[in-house]
């Protein structure tokens, strides 16, 4: 048996890039897939690709940041395949600007697609799974959200995108704490891959070119190189919950979020003068802030 035999999987933003690669591999692992994308041509093309490989898939072109559209997406799975087992929230957009040039429209568009577009389909899916659990038919349900290195480590020019992706990481952890009692496990990936969204990020493209030259590994930025983790997290094999994973070609790691580092304590409140004396020592003892490649970051101070 394959890892996802008989499972029904909904993937948002699956008309290209990472979502397309997820849809193909889920189908190869035995899942029936709902391919969601507002780009109808892309969604139907991926369905045709899955069917050409012998898999089962249907297209859905609803806007997942629209409440009713998200409900129709989940209903598509139920009407087409009679169930829903895994939800992968992958849809996203970029509106990159340095913060001084960022508009409210840039901010709102990214928040709507990433945060509302993660919340809405998840809410509809969880309502179905909760009903199943209460009826004594608890499913082995899985949520796999898509955060980003920008949300975990930060990235210049992406105050909107990074904030949204950090929100998705926190959302994932909180769902993990709340939903396990219904048989639902929630995890996320922070992927690095070369897609339509990242094609303009020259620094990332340069790193991928360097990796290809150094190792001879062809197309190291290809989304197909990172989606095995998503399929595993969306399968019954995964019993992990509330975690975020960094993933890129040939690399997977557990993203370790905010934690309690070096500390100082005293009886009663601190004065400004005491804080001035204590905090520099705490910072000197703290682990450095690093980027997705574990390189120390600098903030000009």
The Cα-based distances of 290 to 62, 265, 298 in angstroms read: 38, 27, 9
Is 218 tagged catalytic? no
Looking up tokens 């089962």, which residue turns up?
56
**E strands within the chain?**
8-11, 32-36, 56-60, 86-89, 141-146, 184-191, 244-248, 251-254
Q: Phi then psi for 247, rounded to 5 degrees?
A: -145, 135
Which residue among the candidates 3, 65, 147, 148 is catalytic per the annotation?
Answer: 148
Is 204 tagged catalytic? no
240-251 residues labelled b (16+ CB within 10 A) or e (exposed): ebbbbbbbbbee
> Do residues 156 and 97 make contact, with C-beta atoms less than 8 angstroms apart?
no
Q: What angle do CA 253, 6, 136 make, to 5 degrees?
A: 95
The Cα-based distances of 278 to 113, 270, 284, 287 in angstroms read: 42, 10, 10, 17
Is 271 tagged catalytic? no
Which residue among the candidates 150, 165, 186, 192 is catalytic per the annotation?
Answer: 165
> Do residues 100 and 113 make contact, with C-beta atoms less than 8 angstroms apart?
no
**Edge-to-edge, what's the strand order for the sheet holding 184-191?**
56-60, 32-36, 8-11, 86-89, 141-146, 184-191, 244-248, 251-254
Which residue among the candidates 65, 128, 150, 161 is catalytic per the annotation?
Answer: 161
Tell me the C-alpha distance between 124 and 205, whole Å: 37
Positions annotated as catalytic residues are: 148, 161, 165
């Amino acid at each position: 048996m394959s890892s996802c035999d008989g499972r029904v999987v909904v993937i948002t933003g699956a008309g290209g890039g990472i979502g397309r690669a997820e849809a193909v591999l889920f189908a190869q692992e035995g899942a029936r897939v709902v391919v969601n994308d507002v780009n109808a041509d892309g969604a139907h093309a991926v369905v045709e690709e899955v069917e050409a490989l012998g898999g089962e898939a249907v297209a859905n072109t609803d806007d997942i940041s629209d409440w009713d559209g998200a409900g129709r997406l989940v209903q598509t799975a139920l009407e087409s395949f009679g169930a829903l087992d895994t939800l992968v929230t992958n849809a996203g957009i970029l509106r990159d600007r340095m913060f001084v040039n960022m508009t409210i429209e840039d901010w709102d568009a990214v928040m709507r697609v990433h945060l509302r577009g993660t919340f809405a389909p998840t809410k509809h899916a969880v309502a179905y799974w909760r009903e199943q659990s209460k009826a004594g038919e608890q499913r082995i349900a899985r949520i796999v959200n898509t955060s980003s290195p920008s949300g975990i480590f930060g990235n210049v020019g992406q105050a909107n995108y990074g904030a949204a992706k950090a929100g998705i990481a926190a959302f994932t952890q909180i769902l993990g704490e709340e939903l396990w009692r219904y048989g639902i496990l929630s995890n996320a990936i922070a992927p690095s891959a070369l897609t339509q969204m990242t094609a303009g990020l020259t620094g990332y493209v340069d790193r991928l070119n360097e990796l290809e030259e150094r190792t001879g590994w062809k197309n190291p930025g290809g989304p197909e190189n990172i989606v095995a983790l998503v399929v595993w997290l969306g399968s019954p094999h995964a019993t992990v919950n509330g975690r975020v994973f960094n993933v890129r070609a040939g690399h997977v790691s557990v993203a370790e979020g905010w934690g309690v580092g070096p500390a100082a304590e005293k009886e009663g409140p601190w004065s400004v003068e005491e804080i001035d004396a204590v905090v520099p020592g705490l910072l000197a003892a703290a682990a450095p802030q690093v980027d997705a490649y574990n390189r120390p970051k600098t903030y000009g101070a």
